[in-house]
Structures are given as structure tokens and as C-alpha cells.
Amino acid sequence: MPPGVCSVDLHVHTCLSPCADNGMVPTLIVERALAAGLQAIGVCDHNSAGNVAAVREAAGGLPLRVLGGMEITTSEEAHILALFDELEGLRLLEHRVQAGLEGLNDPEAWGDQILVDARDQPVGIEERLLSGASALSAEATVREIQALGGLAIASHVDRPAFSLAEQLGFVPPELPLDALELSFHFRGARAAFLAFGFPLVSFSDAHFPEDIGRSRTAFRVAEPSVTELRRALRAGQGVR
Amino acid sequence: MRLSEVVRALGLGVRAAGPGLESEVSGGYVSDLMSDVIANAEAGDLWLTVQIHANIVAVAAMKELAGIVLVGSREPEAETLRKAGEKQVTVLASSLPAFELAGRLYQLGLRGRERHAAGGV
């Protein structure tokens, strides 16, 4: 791989997401990301950034950048990734998102929601139902992410469930999204998705350790930061 | 009304039989937003939806619904059926769109309950 090209997978869940494997713990995620040859990952659990700091700490001193994020469920039940360089913006957004979450998790129905430390030790159980929807619309979510300096990417727009394109019928062209994500499953023609007028990326949406890096996007950037990635996307980089 | 009577009267396809079809249906609910079903459906409701994702099983189990009917000839994803077997949730299918199917359920005598809308959905 030539210097300056970063291979990134910005959609990785941890054991905090009820639908993710309980083995998605920080040291294993980091180990697997390095083995997959990634320069950066994004930690995006459903409606929570609770395990972001632990994964960042687990990657400390290693050649892997960890962007903090969330996969937000909007009030229309569309999934949108929010990614940040700094944790302050992410914390503010998490607060807004969680203010509208309803209900408590039933682990029997949805799965476990485990908070861990950087050494994979459980430190708590998230009791709110992270699989539910926030009270923020897609419009409000994306504008909030942008206002806080994050990267806003609509998740798996090619999928039948929880896709912005599917829930709203199309991707509103005026929505200030940085990119649309195509899922690992996507095999068709990209033209239909390029027609929405946004750059395309592809990430793994990893729920199991072996998923990490199965879909990734290469960027020619000095470093895989939110600022640099946004600049690259605006300059036309991404999946073609 | 028994679930089996509803299945027979409306010719519904049985994709997962849950605990059997002898459970009692006490009402109905139509929605494609899972958060809305979590907030507003009641135990014993038969839920009509176009959603086929496995999360519908978790919602039905959590709310103790009588069953799920996939409308408009939609078929459940493989994972949805696997979860339905695991959680003992009934998944039915109809070629009718939601409006027509809800109308026929009403004709059978099934009623929803008047609810105070719990929010903006």
C-alpha cells in the first residue's frame, strides 16, 4: 500500500450494542483491526458512546486511530453514523440522543449491553434500551452532528432495514451528510446510490470480531482524522 | 378470538407457529415503526407490519403480542424465523396490504383499543 493511503473501517460495534457479540471487547477489536491492516476504526454502538474511551485506551501507543462515534437511530428509524476526533462533541450528542430514548433493555429479547474497560473487564450494564429510536429526526440528527464538528454518514443505505433511503423513500438532497455507507452485502450497481449526490463509502458494520475490516474504504490523507476524511470526501474520494 | 380462527378465516400463511396457534388475540395494531409498537401496542395484539427484520421478533416478545402478520406478500428474513423459533413468537403472512387486512380483522369482530397517543409518532 503506498504511503499516505489509509484503510479505514468506521463502523464497528462493541459488546455494548445488544445485537453485537459479547466477544466484541476492546483488546480483541484492536488486535483484529491491526491484523486486518486497518489504519483507523470508528467505534459506533447503537445510541451510545459508552465503550469509546475503552477502545481508544486499548489502542494507546499502537498504530491504529480510533474515532469515537455512535450509530444513531433517528425518530424515523434510520441509522446514521456520527464520528468525532474529540470526545466532547460526541458526549454532547450522546446526551441529546439518549434524552429521547424510551424503555429499558430486556436482555432476553434484545441481547446484553455491556460496558467494559480497556482491559475488557465488565464495568457496568447499560439498562436503557439502546435498540430503540431517539426523538431526533434525521434532519435534526445530521445538523446536530455537523454543528458539533462530527462526520455524518447514513448507514447501510442499500439495506431493507434501518436505512435512511428506505425509511424516507430517498435521501433528502439538502441533508448535509458527508457520505452514504454501502453495506458489506452490497453487490449491485453503485449508480443508483451515486445518484443521491453524496460520496459513497463502505464499512463492515462489524458485530463479530471476524467481521472487522471485511468492508473498508481507502483514503489518501495525511492522517485518518475526521477533518482530513471530510476534506477527502469533499474532494471526491471514497468508493466509486 | 383464537389465533387459529383468524388464520383460518383470513387464509394467513404460518411462517413460525410460536407457542402454537391457540393463544387468544385481544386486539390489533398496525405500524411499521418499531419504536411506535414498543410505545403503543398492547399485550395480546396482533401486529400488522411490512417490516421483516429480526428486530420485529424482539419487539413482539417484549410486548407479549399475540403474533406478527407480514402484509403485502412480504416474507421474513431467515434470521427473523430463527429468532421467532427461539423466542416462541408467531409469524404469519398475508398477500393483502395492511389496510385491507385490518378491515377484514375488524369484520371478524376484532377491535383495537382507543389509546391516548403516547407522543409524536
ipTM of the complex: 0.71
Where does A100-237 have alpha helices with state H?
Answer: 107-110, 138-147, 164-168, 191-194, 226-234
**pLDDT at position A160, please?**
86
pLDDT at B119 over 50: no
Contact residues on chain A for B58, CB-CB shorter than 8 A: 109-110, 131
**pLDDT at position B63, please?**
94
Domain boundaries, chain A: 5-234
CB contact under 8 A, B38 and A162: no
A104 and A140 Cβ atoms separated by less than 8 Å:
no
User: What crossing angle do the helices spanning B3-10 and B98-107 adopt, rounded to 10°?
Assistant: 120
Interface with chain B: mutation pick from A72, A97, A110, A185, highest number of B CBs within 10 Å:
A110
A221 and A238 Cβ atoms separated by less than 8 Å:
no
Of A75, A106, A160, the CB nearest to B62: A106
What is the distance in angstroms between the Cα of B11 and the nearest Cα belonging to chain A?
Answer: 27
The three-state secondary structure class of A41 is: strand
**pLDDT at position A118, please?**
98
CATH superfamily of B3-107: HprK N-terminal domain-like (3.40.1390.20)
The segments of chain A whose pLDDT lies below 50 read 1
**pLDDT at position A141, please?**
97
CB contact under 8 A, B35 and A109: no
Say whether domain A5-234 belongs to CATH 3.20.20.140. Answer: yes
**pLDDT at position B115, please?**
56
- Its pTM stands at 0.88
For the segment B50-60, the average pLDDT, to the nearest whole number, is 93
Q: What angle do CA A136, A206, B74 make, to 5 degrees?
A: 70
